[in-house]
Amino acid sequence: MAVVTQLFGLHWGWMALGVALAIAEIVAPGYFLIWLAAAALLTGLVAATMPVGLEAEIVLFVVLCALALAAGRRWVLRHPVHSADPMLNDRGGQIVGQSVVVTHVIEGGGGRVRHGDTEWLARGPDAQPGTRMRVTGADGTVLLVEHLH
């Protein structure tokens, strides 16, 4: 075993781990595994060029993981991903400014309104069914409405 380790070295194991982590990042992206892959590849590079023991390689890998994750976090914070549609998962926010029709009396601040084919809970001033109102905001799944002026 010692002869195999001397001939081929443990660095191939680190390199294989780095490639496997990079592939895992491609399959399930999350900006995390790629930093661990970089640490494994660097550990493999060091192991290939310097005669260090397995314990030192493991310590080096842990230190490189910490450094890579810190650098990755800093990079991600400086280069945020901007969505083409920031309101994609905010259905209530998407219809702010649009008109709705009251379907169940709004009294005491609460009732129901319809927008398109969807009925929403609504909060706003008293209104009778059939009244058109404007959406001014959303509080979770409750639309905030006001009378059209």
| Unique residue bearing structure tokens 């800093």 | 74
For residue 9, the model assigns a pLDDT of 64
pLDDT per residue as tens digits for the range 101-137 = 999 999 998 999 999 999 999 999 999 999 999 999 9
**Measured between alpha carbons, how far is 119 from 121 in angstroms, rounded to an integer?**
7
Task: Please report, for the chain, the start and end positions of each structural domain, with discontinuous segments joined by +.
Answer: 2-78, 91-147
**91-147 CATH pick, 3.40.50.720, 3.90.1170.10, 2.40.50.140, 3.40.50.300:** 2.40.50.140
Q: 59-116: per-residue pLDDT in tens?
A: 999 999 999 999 989 988 998 888 787 777 888 888 999 999 999 999 998 999 999 9
- State the chain's mean pLDDT as an integer: 88
Q: Are 115 and 98 in contact (CB under 8 A)?
A: yes
Q: What is the pTM of this model?
A: 0.54
Higher pLDDT, 7 or 11: 11
How far is CA 27 from each of CA 15, 23, 80, rounded to the nearest angstrom? 18, 6, 21
Question: Alpha carbon of 96 to those of 31, 113, 132: distances in Å?
Answer: 33, 13, 14
146 vs 111: CA distance, rounded Å: 12
Confidence check: pLDDT of 36 > 80:
yes
- Average pLDDT of span 30-41: 90
Name the residue type at position 51. Answer: P
